[in-house]
Amino acid sequence: MKIYKYGLILISVLFLFACEKETEGISRITYYVDLELKGNPIEFVSIGGTYNEPGWTAFEGDIDVSENVKVSGKVEVNTLGYYTLNYSVNNADGFPKTASRSVIVYDPAINTDISGEYVTVEGTYRYRSGAITKYPGFNVTITKVAPGTFAISDFLGGYYAQRAGYGSAYAGSGYVQLNSNNKISLIYSFVPGWGDALSALKNAEYIPGDGSIKWAADYAGMTFNVVLN
């Protein structure tokens, strides 16, 4: 009888301990940080001006952890170009949440507007390992985003996105700066489908006489000579 009682006591203790451990295991909930940037994904600042950070909000559940967000990167307001700011914060369990914002420094003195709908014309070709493939007749859109700064829909002139039929993810999109001498400088480029970018943009210029634009885009060991009208 004593052994039976002791057995019941032991089972009861183990049961209570197990319940306590189970309760401990489910009593804490992990909240991942909800990090949102205020302002726009791409901000613009004139050269020599001041970059004003729009800010952010970060919540871990109902708790405001905005003050824990760390920012890396720097905007050189005295140099034309494309800059990236990275924002990061960890939750209580160390799980990170990140976000990024782009900042373009532009020249407000550039008044020429080259925005419009263009078509690749004769003189447009891809050079690869000694072989030339001509491909006139494809569309490129140029959009003004700030004085002298323009978004290019496809630095590759539609070669993959349109000619090959791969779709817009394989267009080499990005931004350029139009200079006072009508030369064009690359600010940023990206080909989402392959996750890479141009190696260089050469001989890029706007020709006021006939309104044409041309460039040579080096990409993945190839050169895309694009002439737009």
Mean pLDDT of the chain: 91
pTM of the model: 0.81
Region 73-82: mean pLDDT is: 95
CA 46 – CA 107 distance, rounded (Å): 6
CA 25 – CA 17 distance, rounded (Å): 12
Query: Does the structure show a pLDDT above 80 at 150?
Result: yes
Give 10's pLDDT tier (boundaries 50, 70, 90): very low
Give 219's pLDDT tier (boundaries 50, 70, 90): very high
Instruction: Look up tokens 């190696």; give the residue.
Output: 199
Instruction: Note the pLDDT tens digit of each residue in 21-38.
Output: 444 545 568 999 999 999
pLDDT at 27: 58
Query: Does the structure show a pLDDT above 80 at 16?
Result: no
Region 73-78: mean pLDDT is: 97
Rg of the chain taking only CA atoms, in angstroms: 28
Quote the distance between the C-alpha of residue 51 and its chain's center. Answer: 19
- Residues contacting 129, CB < 8 A, separation 6+: none
* Residue 147 burial by Cβ neighbours in a 10 Å radius (0-12, 13-18, 19+): middle
208 within 8 A of 182, measured Cβ to Cβ: yes
Instruction: Note the pLDDT tens digit of each residue in 164-210.
Output: 999 999 999 999 999 999 999 999 999 999 999 999 999 999 999 99
With pLDDT > 70 as the criterion, what percentage of the chain qualifies?
88
Residue 161: what are its φ and ψ, rounded to 5°? -65, -40
CA 92 – CA 90 distance, rounded (Å): 7
Query: Does the structure show a pLDDT above 70 at 43?
Result: yes
Query: Does the structure show a pLDDT above 80 at 2?
Result: no
CA 86 – CA 104 distance, rounded (Å): 15
